[in-house]
Amino acid sequence: MESITLEKAASLLSEKDNILILMHRSPDGDTIGCGYALCLALRSMGKKAQAVCSDPIPAKYSYITDHVDEQSFDPEYIVSVDIAAPQLFGEGLSGYVDRVDLCIDHHGSNSGFAKYGFVDPSAAACAQIIARLIDLMGVETSSVIADAIFTGVSTDTGCFKFSNTTAETYRIAADMIDRGAQGFMISRLMFDTKSRSQLELEKLALDTLEYRCDGKIAIITLTTEMMTATGADDSETEYITSLPRQIEGVLVGITIKQKSPELCRISVRAAVGTDASAICSVFGGGGHKGAAGCSIEASPDEAKERIAAAAAEVIGK
Amino acid sequence: MESITLEKAASLLSEKDNILILMHRSPDGDTIGCGYALCLALRSMGKKAQAVCSDPIPAKYSYITDHVDEQSFDPEYIVSVDIAAPQLFGEGLSGYVDRVDLCIDHHGSNSGFAKYGFVDPSAAACAQIIARLIDLMGVETSSVIADAIFTGVSTDTGCFKFSNTTAETYRIAADMIDRGAQGFMISRLMFDTKSRSQLELEKLALDTLEYRCDGKIAIITLTTEMMTATGADDSETEYITSLPRQIEGVLVGITIKQKSPELCRISVRAAVGTDASAICSVFGGGGHKGAAGCSIEASPDEAKERIAAAAAEVIGK
């Protein structure tokens, strides 16, 4: 992949037409915000453009997707947004893996699958890059584009709360509000709304909370039985995953999600100064210092003992 | 109270010395951020200044307070920050109620107790006004001042999530980050940390969750027994108060806090389009459309029936 400047990316896009924009599988607010914002910007330049994903876009993003109709055309130029590696295309889009002309991303780990790429790991959200790109293309940001960019920026920073949040993140949010983004509606929808099943699961999860190492480790267990009983789906466990680390004095927060009788997926969240990925690497997993994951082939009880032992080792207890 | 411009407020402060800054009782991040930021700004102009509060400043704000030593002097000029009315001075500062020279505030309901006042209800946080004031005084914002302003802005907007958040809120946050504010540390401390007792209380609270009117009303009850059993204090119930309204489909979220066997304090949170203050006014309470409160002299069970009936009436069920 040849690294190019964002100016070059803007001029490449300005020259092309019939542009297909690929979003990653299991789409989140950032890839959706990027895909739709770029699509609308290109269309406002008189081009044909379409943003596509191998998975359905969740209904809660309808305030964006309702404003973008389907266009059919033979793709002549293919752009990926917020996609770090080929396995994130998903089955429906796997045919495009070797055909990507331009990759716009903010993952430092980007595998370089495209012809040209602009990757800026300092951007908290890929939507920050798309906001700059749209400005460079000379397109006026409509209120729907502003909603899309705001969504990407706010969701990828956990509502401006994660360590990736920079001054530019806040400035882009401000600019999008000025251009009509519905900041309050989006924040309430993304960060201040829970389903009944999610709340039921949270209640059951809190009942399993255990402390180890004088409260430096906190562990929550979600069994398949609990998922079935509450009807919660996997996306609804995200919030719970962050719970044990939030507890005062906890250095390592662990969530054990049982996938089958003898298989557990483990999420580890660590306080500043503690390395979650070091704990997960013991079991062949990985991630970042603050957040990492791994799988353990064992029952929840046994998986708990193994991951707790690894965590205790890493924090030196 | 004579309304003055912020430029006039800046020039008044520039002329004075030995300035006492009053913060409101039960201090929150905004009044603390304002008090300490203004104090440090005035000191950097070579003046004597001190920020005072009738209640102790909670330890979690030590990243600000540790950088501000005590100065003793006879107050010659008295300024209040983020104080809407005399009853918010608290006992320790009640002697100053009639002696305030300058009131800086963002509450539209400000009672006008001071000689001069600058009140801007469009500011999400009073700290937004203090940030502009410090600029007008020509003071360079130090990293501690930046931390203090950021704290005020982020806490009074619920981490940039409430409806009061504006483009200026985000821009001031960006400016403070540029000037050294520890945005991530502050956000994690304020919005991503729970005590064990808080979590215990949350678990018990979720067990009391009830729905009324086809799920349009959700009610949580906190008894004195639950408070005693968990050791949680009143400030730790704030988060729980927002829980019932967060549930999908809920228009009115009610939290009943038992204060004594036959007295309950009721917190009502409403979705956009529903008026919480109309519900509370039935019992002589009040507040805003989104958040209001009242007291009912009854047991939790009876208070629940009364407030639920009032809520059902207001939502037209």
HEC secondary structure over A285-317: CEECCCEEEEEECCCHHHHHHHHHHHHHHHCCC
What's the rounded Cα separation, in Å, for the pair B239 and A29? 25
- pLDDT at residue B60, rounded to an integer: 93
The tokens for B75 are 């107050």
Residue B247: DSSP 8-state: B
**Cross-chain Cβ contact B165/A187 below 8 Å:** yes
Please state the three-class secondary structure of A261-294 as a single string: CCEEEEEEEECCCCCHHHHHHCCCCEECCCEEEE
Residue A231 CB-half CA count within 13 A? 3
Set of chain B residues whose Cβ sits within 8 Å of the Cβ of A159: 159-161
Contact state of B165 with A174 under an 8 Å Cβ cutoff: no
Q: CB neighbours of B42 closer than 8 A, spacing ≥ 6?
A: B13, B19, B49
Estimate to the nearest angstrom the gap between the alpha carbon of A40 and the chain centroid. Answer: 21
For residues A69 and A55, what is the distance between their CA atoms, to the nearest angstrom? 17
Query: Across the interface, do B174 and A196 touch by the CB < 8 Å criterion?
Result: no
pLDDT band at B239 (very low <50, low <70, confident <90, very high): confident
B235, pLDDT greater than 80: no
Classify strands A77-81 and B49-52 as parallel, antiparallel or unpaired. unpaired
Residue A38 has pLDDT above 90, yes or no: yes
CB contact under 8 A, A196 and B173: no
- The rounded distance, in Å, linking the Cα atoms of A142 and A154 is 18
d(CA B17, CA A316): 53
Instruction: Please write the tens of the pLDDT for every residue from B251-301.
Output: 999 999 999 999 999 999 999 999 999 999 999 998 888 889 999 999 999
Residue listed under structure tokens 């302003």: B149
In sequence order, what are the residues at sequence separation of 6 or more whose Cβ sits closer than 8 angstroms to the Cβ of residue A253?
Answer: A217, A218, A220, A242, A243, A244, A245, A246, A247, A268, A269, A270
Angle at B239 between CA B235 and CA B243, to 5 degrees: 145
Closest partner residue to B194 (CB to CB) among A165, A169, A246 is A246
pLDDT in the model for residue A256? 97
The continuous run of DSSP H or E covering A143 comes out as helix A143-156
Which pLDDT band holds residue A289 (cuts at 50, 70, 90)? Answer: confident
Q: How far is CA A306 from CA A58, A257, A284, A297, A300, in A?
A: 36, 14, 13, 11, 10
Q: pLDDT tens digit string along A140-173? A: 999 999 999 999 999 999 999 999 999 999 999 9
Sheet strands side by side (includes B263-270): B210-212, B217-222, B252-260, B263-270, B291-296, B286-287
Please list every residue in chain A whose beta carbon sits closer than 8 Å to the beta carbon of residue B209: 199
Tell me which residues of chain B have a C-beta less than 8 Å from any C-beta of chain A: 159-163, 165-171, 173-175, 177-178, 183-185, 187-188, 191-196, 199, 202-203, 206-207, 209, 215, 242-243, 246-249, 272
Average pLDDT on A22-44 reads 97
Q: How far apart are CA B118 and CA B5, in angstroms?
A: 6
pTM of the model: 0.92
Q: Which residue has the tokens 């700290």?
A: B127
Residues A309-314 have a mean pLDDT of 97
Average pLDDT over residues B30-34: 98
pLDDT value for B238: 82
User: Which residue of chain B comes nearest to A179, CA vs CA?
Assistant: B167
Test the B interface: residue of A141, A150, A161 with most B CBs within 10 Å: A161
Write the pLDDT tens digit of every residue in A93-109.
Answer: 999 999 999 999 999 88
- Residues A134 and A137: their CA atoms lie apart, in Å, by 5
Provide CB contacts within 8 A for A123, sequence distance 6+.
Answer: A106, A129, A168
- Edge-to-edge order in the sheet of strand B19-22: B2-3, B116-119, B102-105, B77-81, B19-22, B49-52
The predicted model gives B35-58 an average pLDDT of 97
Distance from CA of A175 to the nearest CA of B (A): 7
Residues of chain B neighbouring A247 (CB-CB closer than 8 A): 193-196, 199
Tell me if the domain spanning A196-315 has CATH number 3.10.310.30: yes
Enter the DSSP assignment of A124: S
- What is the structure's pLDDT at A244? 96
Question: A128 pLDDT exceeds 90?
Answer: yes
Question: Distance, in angstroms, between A188 CA and closest chain B CA?
Answer: 7
Kindly give, in sequence order, each residue whose CB lies less than 8 Å from that of residue A155, ignoring residues fewer than 6 positions away.
A28, A29, A30, A33, A125, A190
CB < 8 Å & 24+ apart, contacts of A104-108: A104/A9, A104/A34, A104/A38, A104/A79, A104/A80, A104/A129, A104/A130, A104/A133, A105/A80, A105/A81, A105/A129, A106/A82, A107/A82
Q: What is the largest CA-CA distance in chain B?
A: 63
Bigger pLDDT: A55 vs A288: A55
Helices B126-136 + B6-15 axis angle, to 10: 60
pLDDT 10s digits, A209-219: 999 999 999 99
- B167 CB neighbours in chain A (<8 A) are 173-175, 177-178
Q: Which ranges in chain B belong to alpha helices (H)? A: 6-15, 29-44, 62-65, 126-136, 143-156, 167-178, 183-191, 196-207, 224-230, 238-246, 276-281, 300-314
Q: Tell me the pLDDT tens digit for each residue of B196-207.
A: 999 999 999 999
In chain B, whose CA is at the least distance from the CA of A162?
A: B184
A221's tokens: 């267990």
> Do the chains contact at A160 and B246, CB–CB below 8 Å?
no
Instruction: Name chain B contacts of A168, Cβ cutoff 8 Å.
Output: 174
> Tokens in use for B113?
């107790």
* CA–CA gap between residue B260 and residue A31 (Å, rounded): 51
Summary mean pLDDT of chain A? 95
Q: Which CATH class is domain B2-191?
A: alpha beta
Each domain of chain B, given as residue ranges in start order, spans 2-191, 196-315
* CB within 8 Å: A161 and B203: no
Residue A207 distance to chain B (closest CA, Å): 8
A190 to chain B: closest CA residue: B161
Task: List C-alpha distances in Å: B204 to A255, B201, B240.
Answer: 21, 5, 11
Is A159 within 8 Å of B163 when comparing Cβ atoms?
A: no
- Which of A177, A192, A206 shows the shortest C-beta gap to B202? A206
- How far is C-alpha A19 from the geometric centre of its chain's CA atoms? 24
Q: Is the model's pLDDT at A238 over the cut of 90? A: no
Asked if the Cβ–Cβ distance from B166 to A177 is below 8 Å, we say: yes
- Judge: A206–B209 Cβ closer than 8 Å, yes or no: no
User: Which residues in chain B are contacts of A177 at CB distance < 8 A?
Assistant: 166-167, 170
Q: In this structure, how many other beta carbons lie within 10 angstroms of the beta carbon of residue A115?
A: 15
